[in-house]
Amino acid sequence: MVNENMREPQMGLTFEKVWAMFQETAQQFKETERQFKEIALQSKETERQFKDIALQSKETDRQFKETDRQFKEIVLQSKETDRKISKLGHRIGDLVEHIIAPNLLEKFNALKFNFGKMGADVSFKDSKGKSVAEVDVLLEDGDTAMAVEVKTKLTTSDVKEHTERMGKLRKYADDHNDKRDLIGAVAGAIVPENVKQFALKSGFFVIEQSGDTVKIDVPEDFVPKRW
């Protein structure tokens, strides 16, 4: 009979097992440390992204403020442009009223016309009250009407626009059984030579400011166009 106290002790923890456990724990600590470092890096990247977003937000805010400033500046410039256009309109009106118009009847009648009636700022409207054409100065007699376009500085574009205006006036006259000949003239305080020649070739009389009066230089070969 074997004594219970004399049995072989069961195999428990050995050095190798304990050492393996330490190594496993150490490995887990390293992995945890790696994960913490990764989280720390992610946290820094997130912090950097937040800072970038904050900077972008500031830049966006700055751009909004700059856009608002530019918009306000454009509004001011638009008001200033409107003021200058209005002022220019008054200057043209003054040019017509004080320099161009008072001399036209005399000047054209000296060129064998027989105008007895003159009107300024004449508007032609259709049956619905819509403007068809506006004429700065209109000279009239029984057989002929002359439409004069007045500009501070005459340009080729002004001459082309007046050609279109004459076509509209012709149609308006025909619609109202007005059989008079229509002729045109352009006037300006400043008339560049190339514009003058273009206007003459287009069949318009050219009226130029000369001191406190006007002059109409009619070349020998000039033939006014009749609409």
Q: pLDDT, tens digit, for every residue of 13-35?
A: 666 666 666 667 667 767 777 77
Q: How far is CA 32 from the centre of its chain?
A: 65
Residue 4 counted as domain residue: no
Write the Ramachandran bin of 211: left for phi over 0, alpha for psi from -120 to 50, otherwise beta: left
Q: Residue 146 and residue 144: Cα distance in Å, rounded? A: 7
Confidence grade of residue 84 (pLDDT, cut at 50, 70, 90): low
Residue 7 counted as domain residue: no
Sign of CA pseudo-dihedral 199, 204, 205, 206: negative
129-183 pLDDT, tens digit per residue, is 888 899 989 999 889 999 999 888 899 999 999 999 999 999 999 999 999 999 9
Model-level pTM greater than 0.85?
Answer: no
Mean pLDDT across the stretch 173-198? 93
Residue 1 counted as domain residue: no
63-73 pLDDT, tens digit per residue, is 877 877 877 77
Q: Which tops the pLDDT comparison, 97 or 99? A: 99
Residue 109 counted as domain residue: yes
- pLDDT of residue 44 exceeding 70, the answer is yes
Which residue range forms the structural domain that includes residue 29?
15-227
Under 8 Å between Cβ of 144 and 183: yes
The rounded mean pLDDT for the chain is: 80
- Residue 170, SS3? helix
Residue 179 counted as domain residue: yes
- Quote the number of domains for the chain: 1
